[in-house]
Amino acid sequence: MGRPADSFPPAPPSLDRERGAELSALTEQALRRQRRELAEAIDRAYEHIPRPLRGAVRRALGT
Amino acid sequence: MSRKSESRAETAKLARLLGVEDLQALSFLLPVAAPELRDYREAVTNLLYDDDQELLQRTADAARMLPARTLAAIGESALGPLICARLTGLIDPHRAVEISSHFTIDFLAQLAAELDPRRAVEVVTAITTDTLVVVSTLMAANGEHVAMGRFVAYLDDATLGLCVEALSDEDLLQVAFVMEGEERLTAVFEIVGTARTKRILAAAHSYGLDEQARHVAALLKSLRAGQRGAG
C-alpha cells in the first residue's frame, strides 16, 4: 500500500533538492519499516491469543 | 547559543525518529536552521503516528476482549515496543496503565523510548514515580537521551528531582542538550542545583560533550536573563 509522494512532508526549504530527496527517502524507509513491523507484530500476536478468542479478534481487526 | 548546536540537537532528534543510528549520515542537515528541522520532525512524527491509524485503532479496540496480563504478554512477546507505543495513546488510559504494570521494566523502558508523551499524557502522568525513576535510568543506559528529553515537560518537580538524582552528570547533560520545551530547562537546573550544574559543565570536556555544555550554559543564561527581564 503505497502512499502518494505529495502526502510526505516537504523537506526543509533551505535544503537543496538532492539533499531534500535524501531526507525524504530516509523518511519513507522509516514509514515502510514501521508498516512492516506492524504487519509482522499482528501476525505474531495471534499465536499468543487464546484459541477460542482468535476468531473474534481476527473479525475485530478485519485482517 | 550557536545556531549550529541548535541544529545539531534537532538533527539528533530527527535521527532518533527516523531510526538513523549514524548521526554522520545526517550531517548535511547541520547548516539547516533548527526551526526548519523542528517543523520537519513534527510533520514526520504526525506521518508515522497517523499511518495505519485505522488498523491500530481496531487493534486497540480488540484489546478490550483480553485481560490486561494477557495483553502485556502479547505486547512484550509479539507486538514489541514500537507498536505498543503507538497503541498506548489509543487505549483507555486507565487500561493502558494497568497493562503497563504487567510489563517488565526493561520492556517499559524500550516502549517509553518509542512513545510520543504528548499523545499519552494521562498514561505517563499515572505511572508510579518509582517506576518512572527506574525507567529513566534504564533509558539513559540504553542511550535514549533524545527520548528522555521528550518526557521532562510531563514530569512533576518531585519525580523530576528523583530522576535527576538517579542520573549521572553525563546523562543529565545529554538530556538537557536535546530536551523539549526550553522553559523547563531552568526548572531542571534549579533542581540540579548550582554546585552540581557547575560540576557538570566543568566536566563536560572529559565526556566529549563540550558543544553540549556550551549550548546548555548559553541557553540557561539567556532563559534566566529573560526571566529577570520579565520579573
List chain B pLDDT tens, one digit each, 231 residues: 688 899 999 999 999 999 999 999 999 999 999 999 999 999 999 999 989 889 899 989 888 888 999 999 999 999 999 999 999 999 999 999 999 999 999 999 999 999 999 999 999 999 999 999 999 999 999 999 999 999 998 999 999 999 999 999 999 999 999 999 877 899 999 999 999 999 999 999 999 999 999 999 999 998 888 877 776
CB proximity list for B43: less than 8 A, separation 6 or greater: A9
Q: Which helix (H) or strand (E) holds B84?
A: helix B80-88
- CB-based contact (8 Å) between B20 and chain A? yes
The C-alpha of A25 sits at a distance from chain B's nearest C-alpha, in angstroms, of 10
* pLDDT (0 to 100) of residue A2: 52
Spans of all domains in chain B: 1-51, 52-127, 144-231
Average pLDDT over chain A, rounded to an integer: 84
* Binary contact (B40, A12; C-beta < 8 A): yes
CB proximity list for B163: less than 8 A, separation 6 or greater: B132, B133, B136, B155
**B221 grid coordinates:** 543564561
pTM: 0.89
When scoring B45, B53, B58, B84 by the number of chain A Cβ atoms within 10 A, the one with the most, hence best to mutate, is: B58
Q: Which of A9, A31, A53 is nearest residue B43 as measured by Cβ atoms? A: A9
Count other C-beta atoms under 10 Å from residue B143's C-beta. Answer: 13
Q: How many residue contacts between A and B have a Cβ separation below 8 Å?
A: 98
**A50 grid coordinates:** 487464546
* Binary contact (B40, A23; C-beta < 8 A): yes
Q: Which residues of A touch B77 (CB under 8 A)?
A: 44, 48
pLDDT in tens, A24-57: 999 999 999 999 998 898 888 888 877 877 787 7
- CB-based contact (8 Å) between B126 and chain A? no
Using CA atoms, how far apart are residues A60 and B61, in angstroms rounded to an integer?
A: 8
Closest CA relative to residue B173, chosen from B154, B157, B193, B189: B189
Q: How does residue A1 score in pLDDT terms, banded at 50, 70 and 90?
A: very low
Q: Which helix (H) or strand (E) holds B132?
A: helix B129-141
Instruction: Fill in the DSSP letter of residue B168.
Output: -
